[in-house]
Chain A
Amino acid sequence: MYIIVEDDPSVADALESLLSGAGLPVRVFASAEEFIHSASPAPDDTMIVDLGLPGMSGGELVRHLEKAGATPKVIAISGKSSRTIARETEGLADVKILRKPPAADWLEAITA
Chain B
Amino acid sequence: MGELEDRRTAVSEARFESLLDTAADGVIVIDETGRMLVFNKICEQLFGYTSQEAIGQNVSLIMPPEFSVSHDRFMNNYHRTGERRIIGIGREVSGMHRDGTVFPLELSVGEAKTAEGRQYIGVLRDLRSRRAVEQRVSQLQAQVVHMTRLSAMDEMGAAMAHELNQPLTALLLYLQAVARQVRACHADAKPPSDKMLDVLDKAVLEAERASHIVQRMRQMVEKRDPERATVDLREVVNEALDLSEFVAQGATVTIRRVFGMTPIQVDADATQIQQIILNLLRNALEVAKESEERWVKVSIGSDDRSAFVSVTDSGPGFSEDVGKSLFRTFSTTKKSGMGLGLAISRAIAQNHGGDLMADPGGNGQGATFTLMLPMHHSDEAEEDTWG
Partner-B contacts on A (CB < 8 A): 8, 10-11, 13-15, 17-18, 21-22, 52, 54, 77, 79-80, 100-102, 105-107
Contact = CB atoms under 8 A, between A and B. Distances in A.
Interface residues of B, number: 23
A5 B167 CA distance: 17
B209 interface: yes
A79 B177 contact: no
Given A106-B173, A107-B176, A14 B161 contact: no
Contacts of B202: 10, 13-14, 17
Given A10-B206, A17-B199, A21-B181, A105 B166 contact: no
A103 to B, nearest CB: 9
B169 A100 contact: yes
B166 A100 contact: yes
Contact of B180 (A13, A52, A107): A107
Contacts of A79: 161-162, 165-166, 169
B47 interface: no
B258 interface: no
A15 B177 CA distance: 8
B162 A15 contact: no
Interface string B231-273: 0000000000000000000100000000000000000000000
Contacts of B172: 14, 101-102
A54 B252 CA distance: 11
Contacts of A21: 177-178, 180-181, 199
A80 B170 contact: no
Contacts, number: 70
Contacts of A17: 173-174, 177, 199, 202
Interface string B202-217: 1001100100000000
A11 B180 contact: no
B343 interface: no
Given A54-B250, A79-B161, A79-B162, A14 B169 contact: yes
B75 to A, nearest CB: 74
B278 interface: no
Interface secondary structure of B, over-half rule: helix
B170 A14 contact: yes
B165 A14 contact: no
Nearest to B250: A54
B193 to A, nearest CB: 10
B154 to A, nearest CB: 15
B168 interface: yes
Interface string B148-190: 0000000000000110011111111110111011000000000
Given A14-B173, A14-B202, A80-B162, A100 B250 contact: no
Nearest to B163: A79
Given A17-B199, A54-B250, A8 B166 contact: yes
Contacts of A106: 173, 176
Interface in B339-377: none
A17 B181 CA distance: 10
B18 to A, nearest CB: 77
B199 A102 contact: no
| Most chain A beta-carbon neighbours within 10 Å: one of B202, B205, B209 | B202
Contact of B169 (A22, A54, A101, A105): A101
A15 B202 CA distance: 12
A16 B209 CA distance: 19
A102 B176 CA distance: 10
A105 B170 contact: no
Contacts of B161: 79
A15 B173 CA distance: 6
B180 A14 contact: no
B180 A22 contact: yes
B200 to A, nearest CB: 11
B166 A10 contact: yes
Nearest to A79: B165
A76 B365 CA distance: 45
